[in-house]
Structure 1
Amino acid sequence: MTTLGIDTKVLLLLSGLILLWALALGVWKFRQMATSPTALAHPYVDIAHRAALMYSFATLVLAALTEFSSFPTAVNLTAGLVAVFFFVAAIGSYMVHGFLKDTDNQFEHPVRGTHAFMWALIGGEIGGTTVLLAGFVVGQFF
């Protein structure tokens, strides 16, 4: 049996936890749909549920890239955790809007820091993924 690196193990664990979170968000979404006169959940409850499902599988892809990366464990773990931090932060922000029911478009009247956070999210998610993909390419093709 092959032993996984700690970087891969951590990302696999996070993937599973995000998936469980997504399933719990599905219960919240269902309750809103079941009690709403329109049979719809708040848009951000729906977005949180769907995003968590997608991010759980995205984290699984990051774990696979990590396992086959030639980069040091610390580099892989840092890159993966940066990306996953922003995955989790995005889901959390969607949950806040869903709970508060304060908007159906967070960019219509953004709060202070929204755009800065989005630029950080873009850099963190794309940057972390790029590092892991580069490590995979170097390790598997060169």
Structure 2
Amino acid sequence: MDIGLLPISVKLALLFSGIYLWVGMLTGVWKYYQISRSDLARAHYYVDIAHRSSLLYAPATLILAVMAYCSVWSENVNFLFVAINLIFFTFSIVSYVVHGFLKDTSNQFKEPHQLGKMQLPKILMRMAMVLLVIGEVGATAGLLLGMFKGLF
């Protein structure tokens, strides 16, 4: 198949899968650097989380690409479902990298919610998590249903 003929939702998911893999590798270098400089041979908690989550989001995004490819929904709907997941995956990775860089917390859900020297309102964290859950679970369910209909 000519790669140029793939739907944009599939291309976007494939591209971000590669980006997440690369970010996972870069954060792995950062993790190793911190481990090599630590008396306890450990990286900051959120450097470790950024590394692992990036590596886990890479294959997850490949699965989204396959789901979008097999889905019976319109390209606009598949694109929306893929984009919602990518927005939240990226937001999560970026937040982990920021916490790892700032070394401001070992638990972003611990109150008060820290971002550097700033304290974030509790409602902001709650809204972000509710939107993330609804967005990721809903968009993935939509792709799963579209793929199911396409396969059967």
Matching residue within 106, 109, 133 for 1:107: 109
Instruction: Name the amino acid aligned to 1:66.
Output: A
Percent identical across equivalent pairs?
44
1:12 paired residue number: 14
**Is there any run of 5+ residues in structure 1 with no aligned partner, and where?**
none
SS at match of 1:76: helix
Give the C-alpha shift of residue 16 in structure 1.
0.7
Instruction: Name the amino acid aligned to 1:108.
Output: K
Quick one: higher RCO (CA 8 Å, sep 6+), 1 or 2? 1
| In 1, Cα distance between equivalents of 2:79 and 2:98 | 28
What does 1:53-92 correspond to in 2, within 5 Å?
Answer: 53-92=55-94
Give the C-alpha shift of residue 4 in structure 1.
2.0
1:33-78 CA deviation, whole Å, 9 max, x = no partner?
0111111000110001000100111111000100000000010011
| In 2, Cα distance between equivalents of 1:83 and 1:16 | 15
| In 1, Cα distance between equivalents of 2:64 and 2:8 | 13
Instruction: Name the amino acid aligned to 2:66.
Output: A
| In 2, Cα distance between equivalents of 1:140 and 1:7 | 18
Whether 2:41 is the aligned partner of 1:30: answer: no
> Taking structure 2 as the reference length, what is the TM-score of the superposition?
0.89
1:116 paired residue number: 127
| In 2, Cα distance between equivalents of 1:43 and 1:105 | 8
SS at match of 2:24: helix
Q: How many residues align?
A: 141
| In 1, Cα distance between equivalents of 2:74 and 2:145 | 12
1:137 paired residue number: 148
1:72-124 CA deviation, whole Å, 9 max, x = no partner?
00100111010111001001111111111111111112222111101111111
**Is there any run of 5+ residues in structure 2 with no aligned partner, and where?**
114-119
Instruction: Name the amino acid aligned to 1:70.
Output: V
- Hey, which bits of structure 1, 4+ residues long, moved more than 4 A? none
Whether 2:137 is the aligned partner of 1:126: answer: yes
Instruction: Name the amino acid aligned to 1:49.
Output: H
SS at match of 2:96: helix
